[in-house]
Structure 1
């Protein structure tokens, strides 16, 4: 069975299937990479709760930065947020994001249930 959460015409914020929750890409508000990353991760966490999951159940994270020069600043926030001993598989790259003001986007896949 496939369950969709917060579904609109274009996309669902979460799609659950077979014990795995797929979150749509999350961006955050703020002027700096630190502010946007903190807000983004807050949104990720809220969606994980809706999916019946949590940050310690993240399987994979894909992070897009508008400028790889922001890698260390983003990682400082990420490292403080990820539960110790539960780092997911992760990729990070540079990409042109949907709006010029966006500096970071995070896409998460997590386990739920059990």
Structure 2
């Protein structure tokens, strides 16, 4: 079975397709608030999924990393407006130290194609 790597770099690919499954790298974005960063990162997920012939209705699992769990409700307000309510993925949300203090949230996803 072939493996397709999307936007490969020296450390990672932005997405990897194997069979009928796409695995996305953690997506982060710049922004002054968790809402701004969440919207931009979720938009990037939409773009990556579209690039391999998928979309958010085919999400299987999403893991959300928050720099501060106190921002959970604000992130969820963006998530709730974005997620396909008829096809919500399995989801976990954890608090974690992210790559830089500028990042407030990171989304990692797996989807069907």
User: Normalised by the size of structure 2, how large is the TM-score?
Assistant: 0.97
- SS of residue paired to 1:29: coil
- Which residues of structure 1 form unaligned runs of 5+? none
Match in the other structure for 2:62? 61
Match in the other structure for 1:111? 112
Match in the other structure for 1:71? 72
User: Normalised by the size of structure 1, how large is the TM-score?
Assistant: 0.96
Match in the other structure for 1:41? 42
Deviations 1:59-100 (A, max 9, x none): 000000000000000000001101121110000000000010
Match in the other structure for 1:97? 98
Runs of 4+ in 1 over 6 A off after TM superposition: none
- Which residues of structure 2 form unaligned runs of 5+? none
